[in-house]
Structure 1
Amino acid sequence: MPLVQKLERPDLTLSFVAVDDADRVTRDLKPGEVRLRARRDSHDEAAALAPASADEAREVGAALTRLARDLRAASVQVAATPHAAALAGAALSAAWQDARYRAPADRPELTLALDDLSSADAARLTGLHAGVTFARTLTSAPANVMNPATLAREARTLETLGLDVDVWDGPDITARGMGLLAAVAAGSTHGPRLIRVTIPARGEATHTLALVGKGITFDTGGYSMKPPAGMYGMKNDMGGAAAVLGAMRALADLRAHIPEGTEVRAYVAAAENMVGPDAMRPGDIYRAANGLNVEVTNTDAEGRLVLADTLTVACQEGATELVDLATLTGVKISALGNDIAALFSSDPGLTDRLKAAAQAAGELVWELPLHQPYLKAFRKGTLADLKNSDMQPAGGSIKAALFLQQFVTRPWAHLDIAGNAARDENATGWGVGTLVEYVLAR
C-alpha cells in the first residue's frame, strides 16, 4: 500500500465524528469501528469516532483497510487526527496479503493519504512497513521454499541496501565450536547457517546492539516428534529470525536516525529440526560454543540450543547488549495468549527500554521473572552441565529463559514470541516494530 501526502480524487474518505455530533448513521459507533456513511457518484464516505489513543487509532486503521477492500476502493483519504502515524501503520499492515501462491486476483492496490501526516512520519512508516513486510514474507513462505540456505540468500539481499552480510555454513559452524546448532541441523539434508547482518556505526562504535533470532525453518520435533496438529504451521518457527531480519531491513532505510556510535548486528541461527540417520537423539550430549556440555533430553526443545550457541558467538564478537526473539515455548501461549510476548531480562535498564519500545510500536509485552531456583531442574539427573528440558511444562517459559541466560555475558533480554509470529496462519511480523523503536531510542 503506497503512502502519499494527498490524493486529488480519493475513492473513499474517512472523517471523524464526536459522540455529541453523531447522526442517524453514526449514532451507535464504537471506538475503533469504521462505518460506511454515504455512497456518492464521485466517492464513498466513511466515519469513525475520533480516536482517543494510538491503540484506538490502530483499530481504526485496520478496520478502514477492511472496508476499503470490501468496497474495492483504490485510494483512501483520512481526515486529520493526532494519531495519524498509528492509524497509518495499522492500515498498511492490514493491507498486506501473501498472494504468491494464489491465482492472480483482480483487486486494486490501495493508496493511503492522511491530512496531517508529516513527511518525517511518512518516511519512518514507509521504512518500518518495508521491514514488517520482509519479515512476513519470510515467515509466510512454506518450508519447501524457505530452508536455511534460502533464508541466508534472502538475508543477502540486504547487501543491496548497504548492509554487511556474512554467512557461515556447516563446516564453518563446526569450526567455531557451535556444537548445539550443528546437532539440531544434523537430521536435515539442508545444513545449518549462521547469518550475521551488520549496520556499522556512524563514527567510532561505542555500543554494539545484537538482535538474535531463532531460525528453525521447520520443526518436526525431531525424534521427540510433534503430533500432526502440533506440527502443522511449524514453518513459522523462524518468526524470531524473520523479525530481526525485518528490523534490519527497516533500519536500512532509517539508519540516519540510529544514534551515533551505535553498531547494530542481527544474528540468525538457521536450521531444520528433522528426523534422519544423523539426527540428535534423546540422551545425546553436545558441547556448546561456550564450553558447556548439554544433554538433549527432548529433541523438540531445539530452539534454546541454536540460540545458546548464537548468543555465545554474539557475546564473543563484542556485543554490549543483546535481545533475542524466539517462538520458544508453547506454554507461553497458555500463559499470555497470542497477543502478548513474554519478556525476560537480566538488566533493569534494558527492560525499561524494551517496554517503552513495545508500547511505541503498539506491541504488547509482559515481564516474567528469571526465577533462578527453577534452573536446578536442568542440572539434576544428567551427566552433563545442563540438560535442555526437564520434560515438565510447569514454568517452562521461565526455565527456557534461564537456560539461555547461561550463554550470555552481557546485558540481555529474551522475548518469547510463540503465538505472536502468526495469526490464523497469517504471518504478523511481530517484533519488527519493537526492535526498531528500541534501536532508534537507544
Structure 2
Amino acid sequence: MHKSFTPSAASPAEIHLYTAQEFEGLTADPFKGARAIAAGQAFVASAGQAVLVSGEDGALAHILFGLGNGRDALGVAALAARLPEGDYTIARPSGLGFADIAAGWADGAYRFDRYLKEQAAPPRLVIPAGEDGEALSREADAIAHLRDLVNTPASDMGPPALEAEVAAMADRFGARLTVVTGDALLAENYPMVHAVGKAATFAPRFLELEWGDAAHPELALVGKGVTFDSGGLNIKGGDGMRIMKKDMGGAAHAIAMAELIMGAGLKVHLKLYVPAVENAIAGNAFRPGDILSSRKGLTVEIDNTDAEGRLILADALARASEGDPDLLLDFATLTGAARVALGPDLAPLYTDDEALAEAVLAGSKTSGDPVWRMPLWDPYLADLKSPIADLVNSGGRFAGSITAALFLKQFVSARSWAHFDVWAWRKGKYGRPEGGAACGLRAVWAMLQTRYSG
C-alpha cells in the first residue's frame, strides 16, 4: 500500500471536513466543545483553515479542516502537508468522494527527500473497508513516481537514467523494451531526435515499450523526454534555465500513465514512446537556419533551437502513428505560452476528435483534475510556413501553444489523437510541496478506464 495510506489503525485522529457554508450552519458539535474551540481560533472553514485538538491524553484526537467553497477536489492536500506523522481517519467527508480525498492526501503528504539526510515519515490516511485500496495506491504511487522523476536533477536523470527507469518498469510488468541510441538513430530513421540530442555528453536515444495482448485496441503514449533544456544555441537566460530539469515532465507523465495501465491490467495493447535527449551546446549542436529531415519525410527549418521538444515529438508521433493505434496521446512540457494562457494547474487539451474531447472533459469532471480544451486553429498554420522547407519549427510568440500543437499535428496520422501541453511543475500553492506535479493525469486516467473498461 502507498506509504501515506494504511488499511487500519488502532486509534487514529478524526478529521472533520467542512465547507464554509456547512460550518456556518452547524448546530451540533461533531466532538465535545468543537464550536467553542473553533470560535476561539476564528475558524470559519475557509479553504486550508485547520484546528487541531488534543484528547485527554495529550495526543492529537480531532481536526477541523476547511474546504472553502468545496470546489477543489484535492483540497485536503493542504492538510496532509502540515500534519505530523501518525494515523488519521475521515470522520466527515463533506461530500467529497473518497478517491478525491485519498488523491489529495497523497498529494500533500508527498516529499522529495532523495537528497535529504532527515527523511520524515508521512501522515497516514486510513483506507476504510469497501474502498479499493489497491487502485488508490496505484494512482498515488504512479503520481509520486512522476514527481520523483521531474524533481530529480539532470545530473542524475539524464537520458541513460530515464532509460533505466523505463527498463525497470518493463521488467516489473513483463513488457518488451527496444532502445535505439546515438548514431543508430540515423540508421533507424529518427533524424530529429538525433539532431537535438547529439551535442550532449549522454547520447540521445529512442525508447519503445510494448505490453499487452495484440488483439486488444492499441493505445499509444508519447512523452517528451528532454532531460535538460539549455535552449541550445538560442540559449535561455538564467531564470528560464533554472528549472529545466523538468523538461522531461511529459515523459514522466507518459511513464506514470503506462504504470497505471499495466498495474490495472487495462485491456489494451500498450505502446509507450519516449525520445530521451539533452538539449546541450557544443560544436556539433544544431543551429538556427539548419534544415532537418524527419521520420515523416517532412523537412523542418530551424527558427529557434529552444523549440526542440516538438522536433523529437514529431519523430515519435510519426513512429507511433505507424502502428495505426486506436488512440494516440502525447504529453509534453512544450510551451511557456500555455502557462501564460492557463497557468500551471490547468492542462491544455488539443484534439480534433470531438468524441475524445468530450470523454477527456468528462474524465476531468469525474476526477476533479482540471483540463481545458484549446483550439487547433488551422489558419495559424501560416505561421509555420518556410520558404525553403516544408515547415519552420517556431511560429513566434503569438498563439505559441496553438502553433506548437499544429506543428505536431502535421506528423500524426493516427485516427484519434490528443496533445497535452503540461507544465509538470507547481509552486507551493495550497501547502503542497513545490516541484514536480501531475497535470491532467487523473483526468486522462479516468477517461481511459471508461473507454477500455470492457
Q: Same fold (TM over 0.5)?
A: yes
* Equivalent pair of 1:15/1:78 in contact (CA under 8 Å): yes
Partner of 2:411: 407
SS of 1:242's equivalent? helix
Partner of 2:85: 73
Partners of 2:66 and 2:227 lie apart in 1 by 42
Partners of 1:366 and 1:138 lie apart in 2 by 25
> Residue by residue, what CA displacement relative to the aligned partner does 1:306-332 show, whole Å, maximum 9, x if unpaired?
100000000113322211111111111
Partner of 1:29: 44
> Residue by residue, what CA displacement relative to the aligned partner does 1:160-212 show, whole Å, maximum 9, x if unpaired?
233332222123321221111111012112111211223313x722x211111
Partner of 1:48: 65
Structure 2 residue 149 is matched with structure 1 residue 138:
yes
Moved over 6 A (4+): none
Alignment equivalent of 1:9, drawn from 2, 8, 11:
11
Partner of 2:391: 386
* Equivalent pair of 2:222/2:330 in contact (CA under 8 Å): yes
> What is the deviation of 1:428?
0.9
Aligned sequence identity (%):
30
Where do 5+ consecutive residues of structure 2 fail to align?
Answer: 28-34, 429-433
> Which range is displaced more, 30-39 or 296-305?
30-39
Partners of 2:331 and 2:226 lie apart in 1 by 12
SS of 1:354's equivalent? helix
Inter-CA distance 309–5: structure 2 relative to 1 (3 Å threshold):
same
* Equivalent pair of 1:35/1:46 in contact (CA under 8 Å): yes
Partners of 2:313 and 2:203 lie apart in 1 by 16
CA RMSD of aligned residues (A): 2.1
SS of 2:306's equivalent? coil
Structure 2 residue 152 is matched with structure 1 residue 147:
no
> Which range is displaced more, 181-190 or 35-44?
35-44
* Equivalent pair of 2:48/2:67 in contact (CA under 8 Å): no
Inter-CA distance 102–345: structure 2 relative to 1 (3 Å threshold):
same
> Residue by residue, what CA displacement relative to the aligned partner does 1:263-302 show, whole Å, maximum 9, x if unpaired?
2222111100011111100111111001011111100000
What amino acid is the match of 1:393?
R
Partner of 1:222: 232
> Residue by residue, what CA displacement relative to the aligned partner does 1:331-379 show, whole Å, maximum 9, x if unpaired?
1111111111211102111111222223333321211111111111211
Partner of 1:249: 259
TM-score (norm: length of structure 2): 0.88
> Residue by residue, what CA displacement relative to the aligned partner does 1:219-275 show, whole Å, maximum 9, x if unpaired?
0000011111111100000100001101112223211xx2x4x22222111100011
Inter-CA distance 47–271: structure 2 relative to 1 (3 Å threshold):
same
> Residue by residue, what CA displacement relative to the aligned partner does 1:28-47 show, whole Å, maximum 9, x if unpaired?
42254352242121433112
Partner of 1:178: 190
SS of 2:154's equivalent? coil
SS of 1:58's equivalent? coil
Partner of 2:431: none
* Equivalent pair of 1:29/1:48 in contact (CA under 8 Å): no
Inter-CA distance 222–151: structure 2 relative to 1 (3 Å threshold):
same
Partner of 1:208: 218
Partner of 2:31: none
Partners of 2:127 and 2:373 lie apart in 1 by 35
Partners of 1:100 and 1:349 lie apart in 2 by 42
Partners of 2:342 and 2:241 lie apart in 1 by 21
Partners of 2:247 and 2:302 lie apart in 1 by 19
What amino acid is the match of 2:450?
A
Alignment equivalent of 1:235, drawn from 222, 245, 263:
245
SS of 1:21's equivalent? coil
> What is the deviation of 1:109?
3.4
Partners of 1:416 and 1:328 lie apart in 2 by 6
Partners of 2:313 and 2:403 lie apart in 1 by 14
Partners of 1:422 and 1:191 lie apart in 2 by 30
* Equivalent pair of 1:284/1:296 in contact (CA under 8 Å): yes
Partner of 1:293: 299
SS of 2:115's equivalent? coil
> Residue by residue, what CA displacement relative to the aligned partner does 1:116-173 show, whole Å, maximum 9, x if unpaired?
x6232x2211011111111111111101111111100111111223333222212332
Partners of 1:198 and 1:179 lie apart in 2 by 22
* Equivalent pair of 2:182/2:198 in contact (CA under 8 Å): no
Inter-CA distance 26–77: structure 2 relative to 1 (3 Å threshold):
same
Structure 2 residue 319 is matched with structure 1 residue 318:
no
Partners of 2:85 and 2:111 lie apart in 1 by 16
Alignment equivalent of 1:100, drawn from 70, 89, 114:
114
Structure 2 residue 361 is matched with structure 1 residue 361:
no
